[in-house]
A and B are shown apart, each in its own frame.
Chain A
Amino acid sequence: MMFIDPHAHMISRTTDDYEAMAASGVVAVIEPAFWLGQPRTNAGSYLDYLSSLVGFERFRAGQFGIRHYCTIGLNSKEANNEGLAEAVMELIPRFALKEGVVAIGEIGYDEQTVLEDKYFRLQLELAKELALPVMIHTPHRDKKNGTSRSMDVCMEHGLDPRMVVIDHNNEETVREVLDRGFWAAFSIYPSTKMGNVRMVEILRQYGAKRVIVDSACDWGISEPLAVAKTARLALDSGIAATEVELACYRNALDAYGRSGQMMESDWLNPMPIDQRALFEGNSILRGGREPVVQEQCDRRSMDNLIID
């Protein structure tokens, strides 16, 4: 089975992770622009970050046979630094229409402050103007209220719910998100927010229509194989393969494909992996390693996954 991980901060992950993801069946990842664990203090470091998302990180993923897409946006945490936020808002339109950018995101609320609200709304307007989907990060604290409010604001700005993915859902938020016609994404974190087992229960209860599974793997304790492992567990638990395919592959393609920047042919007819390739003179190889050069063949299998 092929998988898409539509929320993965690969910039924080190792090449081992890329290898393991490719081996488990991941054909494409979407890397949302977010913060780096501590706040950036000037727009220059933001500019470099965004250009690495559309540049070197895409190249790095390609070296492991994974297609890399990204979303561009000013995250809610850094929206609280008004000076930085103003400067970053100037950068966003310069990146938003680049190849491989599939949404404005991840944007939304963290502490639900006045500044967060201001830049969330500005970016919703931008997404509407550019006809791009939106990826919404719902707050971890005061989640239920923050999730409802995020959707209220989208409606207020006249966005089509089918163009908006509400991410980081849980048992308490899923019903309203689906009832209101938005895409409901779930980030599978080991032991905390949403585990595999809980996700399978949600699939059983709500079905897979407009449900999207992602790993949200980043610099914290997280699981880059979360999508494949959830799929394996769901199949083993008797969820129909068509449903699993929707939640772990097709819905993400449908939602983010609305950008016109992501299509199945991108990975069905890919360039062969050639680690001899260079990005601006840089290779991912170190110290005389033998490059992997391989024609497209059956490299993937989700058997042998350990699910805990």
Chain B
Amino acid sequence: MCQTAEMAEAVALYRGLPLYPEPADIEPWVGEGLRTNMRSVFEAIAHENPYPMHYLDTHRWNHMVLKALFVGSRLAPIEGLDERANEELARILRDFAHERWAAGRPVPFEIWRCVGPFARGGALGDLERVLESGTTTEQQAAALALAASPDVDAKVLLQRFPVLASAVENGMLEWAGVQ
């Protein structure tokens, strides 16, 4: 069935991932689904599906998040996005942002959600750049990322943008509200 699936069948098969017995054994098949060029198939695995959060190793997890950015998928519907954030992903996403900036192309605002908890040093410079020259949405994302950083310098930087800082502080600004 997996080998002969047409597109809708593949979507249906991958939607069922959390229900199958021996979930760890089907990881190669999931890897194949994540390499697809068909966005609907990719999203059947990546979005609103608890399987990746529980069974993908960090490397594959990071590549799934990256792939979502490359195929134009949102990150918010990925289950476990905050729980599975990690230092390596933050580094990769910052490289990605620099690549896009060098090419004069937009950087999806959602990446800062995964960078925030590890933002220090150069990452703060990146967020400063977004706060100074980004769109409203991008500025909101950068402010939330700074608020999630463990670095005291992040707090100092955020205070330079008092309107955003207080919106984060009093809970008016949350990731769910950034569109």
Contact = CB atoms under 8 A, between A and B. Distances in A.
A is bound by B:
yes
A67 interface: no
Contacts of B36: 38
Interface size class of A (residues with CB under 8 A): 20 to 34
Interface string A48-92: 000000000000000000000000000001001100000000000
A296 interface: no
B32 interface: yes
Interface residues of B, number: 23
A172 B99 contact: yes
Nearest to B66: A141
B39 interface: no
Contact of A39 (B32, B59, B92, B96): B32
B98 interface: yes
Interface in A78-108: 80-81
Nearest to A195: B103
A140 B35 contact: no
Contacts of B35: 39, 77, 80, 110-111
A141 B63 contact: yes
Interface in B84-121: 92, 95-96, 98-99, 102-104
A172 B59 contact: no
A77 B63 CA distance: 13
B85 to A, nearest CB: 16
Contact of B103 (A37, A141, A145, A171): A171
A111 B59 contact: yes
Interface in A172-208: 172, 193-194, 198
Contacts of B37: 37-38, 220
Contacts of B60: 111, 113
Contact of A81 (B28, B67, B70): B28
B31 interface: yes
Contacts of A142: 62-63, 66, 92, 95-96
A123 to B, nearest CB: 19
A144 B100 CA distance: 12
B66 A41 contact: no
Contacts of B63: 111-112, 141-142
Nearest to B99: A172
Contact of B102 (A37, A38, A39, A172): A172
Cβ-closest 4 pairs across A and B: A171-B102, A141-B66, A111-B63, A142-B92
Interface of A: 37-39, 41, 77, 80-81, 110-113, 140-145, 170-172, 193-194, 198, 220
20 contacts: A39-B32, A77-B35, A80-B28, A80-B32, A111-B59, A112-B63, A141-B66, A142-B62, A143-B96, A143-B99, A144-B98, A144-B99, A145-B92, A170-B99, A170-B102, A171-B102, A172-B98, A172-B99, A172-B102, A193-B103
